[in-house]
Amino acid sequence: MTPAERILKGDVKAASRLMRDIDDEMESAINELKELYPETGTAYVIGITGPPRVGKSTLVDKMIDVFRAQSKTVGVG
């Protein structure tokens, strides 16, 4: 079973590994994203950047709360 298939079945560890591979710019991650796209093509990617100690983690935590309150699935990498 491919990582994309495992992700579609709800495997959180497979999703975490794919996010790491994307961050590491691994070419294999592109192929997995292509496999996932037909099922998840309406997903959003949100990037949060900033210097240390400005509240990025707090902001992300609050955003997760809001999205989950709307019954949305959230992945953080």
End-to-end CA distance of the chain: 22
Q: Are residues 58 and 76 in the same domain?
A: yes
User: Are residues 48 and 73 located together in one domain of the fold?
Assistant: yes
Residue 34 and residue 3 share a domain:
yes
Query: DSSP letter string over 2-69?
Result: -HHHHHHTT-HHHHHHHHHHHHTT-HHHHHHHHHHHHHHTT--------STTSSHHHHHHHHHHHHHH
Residue 7's domain comprises 1-42
Do 13 and 49 fall into the same domain? no
- Its pTM surpasses 0.85: no
> Could you tell me if 37 and 49 lie in one domain?
no
Whether residues 50 and 73 share a domain: the answer is yes
- Judge if 32 and 50 occupy the same domain: no
Looking at the fold, whether 31 and 61 belong to one and the same domain comes out as no
pLDDT digits (tens, 9 = 90+) for 39-76: 887 888 899 999 999 999 999 999 999 999 999 988 88
